[in-house]
Structure 1
Amino acid sequence: MTAMKKIALGLIGAASAAVITSAALAETLTVYTAVEAEDLKKYAAEFNKQNPDIKIKWVRDSTGVVTAKLLAEKDNPQADVVWGLAATSLMKLKAEGMLEPYAPAGVEKLEGSFVDSSNPPSWTGMDAWVAAVCVNTVEAEAKGLPIPSSWKDLTKPVYKGHVAMPNPASSGTGFLDVSSWLQMFGEEGGWKFMDELHQNIAWYTHSGSKPCKQAASGEVPIGVSFAFRGAKSKAKGAPLEIVVPTEGVGWDMEATAIVKGTKKLEAAQKLVDFTVTKEANEMYNKGYAVVAYPGVAKPVEHFPENLSAAMINNDFEWAAVNRDKILAEWKNRYDSKSEPK
C-alpha cells in the first residue's frame, strides 16, 4: 500500500470516528406536547439552530391525553420535558411533585403572570389561547340560525344539534370552557348552563381546534373552540364569524416544564432556556396573539379586536385543584355524546 493510500485511509477513518463520536455525543430529548402538529417541525428547527447536538423526539396529543399520560407515568417518567401544555395541567403535575423546578436564563424578562410563582419556578408560560365561537355564516343562513352573541344564546332551541364543542377530559380548550363557565355562572349556574347547552350539542370532540375546523368545513354550523384557530381558518377563506361571547371568555396558557427524574437534565435546561427567549416568543406569535415576552406580539389577521377585554380573571389554581372533580362530574352528565376516540 502506498503512503498516499495509507494517509487517505487514515483520514477517512478519522472522519468516520468523528461522525460516530458526534452521533454518540448528540442527546435526544423526549418532549411531550399538545402544540398543533403543524408547528412542531418549526419549533424543533428553531431550537436546533442554536443547539444542533440536541434532538427532539415529539410525543404529541391533545391536552387531556398528554396530561393523563404523564400522570400515569408518575412512578416511571418517560418524558424529559413538557413543551406546550396547558398551565392548569402543569399545576396539577406540580402538585403531584412531578416537575423539576428551574429558573431558565432570561425568565425575568417575561410577564409575571406567565411564570409560576414559586422560586425557582416549576413552569414558565409561552402564550395564551382564548375561547371563542366559530360560526359558519353560510351554513347558519341556510339553516335559519341567528348569529349568537353570548354563551346563553347557544342554549336556545333553534341551535339544537348544530353545536360542537371539545370534551374537557381530552381537550385543554374544553376544560378552560367548562372551568370558566363554573367561575362566571357559579357552580350551580354553570352546571345548569351546561345541562341546557348539552341539549343542543351534536357531539363533543377530542381536540380543541376540531369544532372550529368542522365549522369551517360546514360539517357543523357552530364550533366552540379558540380564537386563533378561527382566525387561521378565516384567513384561508372559510366563511366564519368569530364570536366573542358577551359574558366573557375563558383562557389558558401553553407552558413548559422539566419532568422530575429526567436523566438528561442539562439538555432539558438548554431547551427550557430557549423556550423563554424573544426568538421563541416571536415564533409563538405566529400561532397566538398573546405571548409571554412583552413587546413581541404583533396583530394577527382576523383575530377579534375585543378579545383581550373579554378574557375573564381566570383562577388557574382553583381550576387545577378542582380538575378531577370537574371532569368526573362532566363525564357523568355529558360523555354520551363524545366522538369515539
Structure 2
Amino acid sequence: MYLTQPIKKITLGLAGAIALMAGSAQANTELKVYTALETEQLRPYAKAFNAQYPDISIKWVRDSTGIVTAKLLAEKNNPQADVIWGLAATSLLVLKEQDMLEPYAPKGLAKLSPKFRDKAATPSWVGMDAWMASLCFNTIEAEKLGLPKPTRWEDLTKPVYKGHVVMPNPASSGTGFLDVSSWLQLFGEDKGWDYMDRLHNNIARYTHSGSKPCKLAAAGEAPIGISFAYKGASLKKKGAPLDVIYPQEGLGWDMEAASIVKGTKNLDAARKLMDFAVSKEANKLYNKSFAVVAYPGIAQQIPYFPSDAESLMMNNDFEWSASNRKQILSKWQSRYDSKSDPK
C-alpha cells in the first residue's frame, strides 16, 4: 500500500513526459518547399528561417524552373508542395491562372517595391529578387580559338561563333525562357524568331539547366555560355577565367518569387515562411547572390555585376510571357529541340 502512491506518481510522471514529448513532436511542422534556387543557397536561407521559427522544418524539393513548374502543374489535383520559395514569377503567373496559389499578404508587404508583387489586393505571390541574363565568356578558350569578345546579342549570330555557343533549353530552364521571351519582346516577334534561327546555327547544344552553360564555359568545355549573372559572377569570383558580359541591346530578366500552394494542410506554417520571405533579413540574404532585390535600400554592389544593373534590365511584360508561354515553348521545340541534351 505504501508503494502504490510512489508508483502511481512515477507512472503519471512518465506519462506526462511522454505526452510532452509527443506534443513537441506534433508542434514540429515540416513544410515541403519546391524551389529552383541554386543548391548552395538553400542551407543559408533555411538556417535563417529556422532561427526565427525553430518549430518549422523545411524539406526542399529542388530542380530547374521548367521541371518544377511542370511538376506543380501535374500535381494540380493532388498538391504535394506546401510552399514555393524561389521560382520564376512567370511560372507563378501560370499557376495563378490555374487557381493553384493561396492568396496571402505577408507581414511587411507594404515595404516591398511595387513591381515585386502580384498586382492583386491580396497577392498570390511576392517577389524576392531579380536575376538577369548574361554571357559567360572563357577568355583562355576564346584566345585559343581566335574568337572576339561579343558585346551584343546580335554578335552571337556571326559565323565565327559557329559551334561555340551553349544555351539553356527554355522548356526546362527559367533562364532559357527569359532569354527567348525577352528576345521576342526586344526585337519583336518576327525578328525575334529570325534572330533565334540565326543563333541556332551557332549553338553547340541546349542544356536543361540555366547555370550549366556558364559552368561549361568556366570549365573550358565551351567558350561561350548564355546563362545568368549570378552564376557568372560567382564562378569568376572563384577564379574561373571568365568575362561576364551584359549584352548592349538590353537584358532579359525574371523575378524569383514565393507563394503558398493552395490546398496545403500547413497553412499557418506556410504563412510564417511567407512573412520571412519578404523580411529585411531575407532580402539581405538574397543580395548576397543578386544585385536587385525586392526590399528597397537593401541592395549593395556585388562584384562582377554592373553598377547600373537595374537600368540595364528591359521592360519585361511578365503577363505576356506567362500567357504566351505554352505557344512560345511549342514553337521553340519544333524549331530547335534537335540540339537539346538528352533528358
Report the TM-score, using the length of structure 2 for normalisation. Answer: 0.96
- 1:242–1:304 Cα contact (<8 Å) kept: no
Q: CA deviation at 1:54?
A: 1.1
Q: CA deviation at 1:15?
A: 3.8
Residue 160 (str. 1) matches residue 162 (str. 2)? yes
Match for residue 98 of structure 2? 96
Q: CA deviation at 1:44?
A: 1.1
Distance 1:259 1:338 in 2: 31
Match for residue 115 of structure 1? 117
Match for residue 23 of structure 2? 21
- 1:227–1:304 Cα contact (<8 Å) kept: no
Match for residue 314 of structure 1? 316
Distance 2:10 2:38 in 1: 49
Residue 160 of structure 2 aligns to which amino acid in structure 1? Answer: V
Distance 1:176 1:8 in 2: 65
Q: CA deviation at 1:75?
A: 1.1
What SS does the aligned partner of 1:74 have? Answer: coil
Q: CA deviation at 1:10?
A: 6.4
Distance 1:97 1:4 in 2: 59
Distance 1:300 1:3 in 2: 69
What SS does the aligned partner of 1:85 have? Answer: strand
Match for residue 47 of structure 2? 45
What does 1:1-341 correspond to in 2, within 5 Å?
14-341=16-343
- 2:168–2:175 Cα contact (<8 Å) kept: yes
Residue 234 of structure 2 aligns to which amino acid in structure 1? Answer: K
Distance 2:57 2:41 in 1: 16
> Any gaps of 5 or more consecutive residues in structure 1?
none
Distance 1:17 1:38 in 2: 38
- 2:301–2:307 Cα contact (<8 Å) kept: no
Q: CA deviation at 1:306?
A: 4.1
Distance 1:66 1:276 in 2: 22
Q: CA deviation at 1:9?
A: 7.5
What SS does the aligned partner of 1:286 have? Answer: coil
Deviation track 1:76-111 (CA, whole Å, cap 9, x = no partner) reads 111111111000000011111111111001100000
Name the count of aligned residue pairs.
341
Q: CA deviation at 1:281?
A: 0.5
- 2:292–2:309 Cα contact (<8 Å) kept: no
Residue 50 of structure 1 aligns to which amino acid in structure 2? Answer: Q
> Any gaps of 5 or more consecutive residues in structure 2?
none
Residue 38 of structure 1 aligns to which amino acid in structure 2? Answer: E
Q: CA deviation at 1:3?
A: 9.2
Residue 146 of structure 2 aligns to which amino acid in structure 1? Answer: G
Q: CA deviation at 1:4?
A: 8.8
- 2:32–2:59 Cα contact (<8 Å) kept: yes
Distance 1:311 1:220 in 2: 26
Distance 1:273 1:223 in 2: 36
- 2:128–2:294 Cα contact (<8 Å) kept: yes
What do you get for the CA RMSD once the two structures are aligned? 1.6
Distance 1:9 1:37 in 2: 48
Distance 1:24 1:307 in 2: 46
Q: CA deviation at 1:287?
A: 1.3
Q: CA deviation at 1:304?
A: 2.3
What SS does the aligned partner of 2:205 have? Answer: strand
- 1:29–1:54 Cα contact (<8 Å) kept: yes
Distance 1:15 1:50 in 2: 26
Distance 1:11 1:217 in 2: 62
Residue 305 of structure 1 aligns to which amino acid in structure 2? Answer: S
Residue 325 of structure 1 aligns to which amino acid in structure 2? Answer: Q
Deviation track 1:148-187 (CA, whole Å, cap 9, x = no partner) reads 0100100011101111011000111000000000001111
- 2:291–2:309 Cα contact (<8 Å) kept: no
